[in-house]
Amino acid sequence: MRFIYTLLFLTSALLSYSQSISNVSSIQQGNNAFVTYDLNGSPGLSYYVKLYYSTDGGQSFSNELLQVTGDAKSGVKTGIGKKITWAADREVNYLNGNVIFKVEAESRKLGSKPVTIENTTVEVVKVTRNGEDVVVEFILTQNTEKEIQEFELLRTSQLTTQDGKQYDPLNGKFGTQIMVNSSTNRVQCPKGIPTRGIITFKIESSDLVIAAVKLNFYVNHNGSHSIFVIRNIPVQ
């Protein structure tokens, strides 16, 4: 593998309304490229940052580079002096000449969509973080033919982070009942009236968007389980 290249820089606009990326620069050390930039945007938002390179003066660019670490991909916050390391020898076989880098970012404050199964809808209304604890607040609304339907929140519920790791709940509560997997903990949910719940997970990741939360309920009237998977939930 041979890497002979001069690193130039390109200032790229942020793909989101009035925010921007500025002061993009880069240096080479061995087979690694180090790209720095400033990310100007709304505090509290999570951004997905992409890095590209060009060998024809910026007329065309590569696909998004994958062998990157640092302030790249998901969970990047606003600030100055952001840094990306690209392991060039792990992604391309040969570079010779001038290389221009482009940095792009897009807001990843995604809104989770409610999930409906058999006329029952579950919606995550808020996810908050307290240290390593992530608290998921949700509501369940049943619109079945029954005026009163009994549900039980099960401990087989689960949270999945963006890197694919899965976490079991520490504790939870649905309606007035604590999540302990007992037939005495079933909650009577009136038709058309939301019933609130809360479930807590201890996770290692600091992502600002939760990839998925699986809420598993036992449904009393037919003795079955209903699993609601809500995806792309922003952490507030």
Q: What is the identity of the amino acid at 81? A: G
What is the per-residue pLDDT across 145-172, written as a single tens digit (0 to 9) for each? 889 999 999 999 999 998 889 999 999 9
CATH number of 115-234: 2.60.40.10
Domain boundaries, the chain: 2-107, 115-234
Whether the Cβ atoms of residue 98 and residue 72 lie closer than 8 Å to each other: no
Looking at residue 181, what is its pLDDT?
62
Whether the Cβ atoms of residue 117 and residue 123 lie closer than 8 Å to each other: no
Closest to 67 (Cα-Cα) out of 160, 3, 9 = 3
CATH 1.10.3430 for the 2-107 domain, yes or no: no
Q: What is the identity of the amino acid at 73? A: K
Lowest mean pLDDT among 24-38, 47-61, 99-113: 99-113
Complete DSSP assignment for the chain: -EEEEEE-------SSTT-EEEEEEEEEETTEEEEEEEEE--TT--EEEEEEEESSTTSS--SPP-SEEES-EEEEPPEEEEEEEEEGGGT-SEEEEEEEEEEEEEE--PPPPPEEETTEEEEEEEEEEETTEEEEEEEEEE-SS-SEEEEEE-TT-EEE-TTS-EE-EEEEEETTEE-S--GGG-EEEETT--EEEEEEEE-S---SEEEEEEEEEEETTTTEEEEEEEEEEE--
- Measured CA to CA, the distance from residue 205 to residue 223 in angstroms comes to 35
What is the per-residue pLDDT across 79-99, written as a single tens digit (0 to 9) for each? 999 999 999 888 888 777 788
Looking at residue 130, what is its pLDDT?
87
Is the fold of 2-107 the same as that of 115-234? yes
pLDDT band at 44 (very low <50, low <70, confident <90, very high): low
pLDDT band at 111 (very low <50, low <70, confident <90, very high): low
Name the token pair of 112: 């989770």
- Measured CA to CA, the distance from residue 161 to residue 181 in angstroms comes to 24
Complete DSSP assignment for 110-147: PPPPPEEETTEEEEEEEEEEETTEEEEEEEEEE-SS-S
pLDDT band at 55 (very low <50, low <70, confident <90, very high): confident
Looking at residue 159, what is its pLDDT?
96
Name the token pair of 53: 């390179």
Query: Which of 45-54, 174-183, 207-216 has the highest average model confidence (pLDDT)?
Result: 207-216
Query: Which of 31-35, 43-47, 135-139 has the highest average model confidence (pLDDT)?
Result: 135-139
Name the token pair of 72: 């790249």
pLDDT band at 2 (very low <50, low <70, confident <90, very high): very low
Closest to 161 (Cα-Cα) out of 197, 196, 129 = 129
| Share of residues in the chain with pLDDT > 70 (%) | 86
**Is residue 11 pLDDT above 60, yes or no?**
no
pLDDT band at 13 (very low <50, low <70, confident <90, very high): very low
Closest to 119 (Cα-Cα) out of 153, 146, 80, 86 = 146
Whether the Cβ atoms of residue 82 and residue 36 lie closer than 8 Å to each other: yes
Lowest mean pLDDT among 27-41, 59-73, 108-122, 168-182: 108-122
120/23: higher pLDDT: 120
Lowest mean pLDDT among 17-21, 31-35, 60-64, 149-153: 17-21
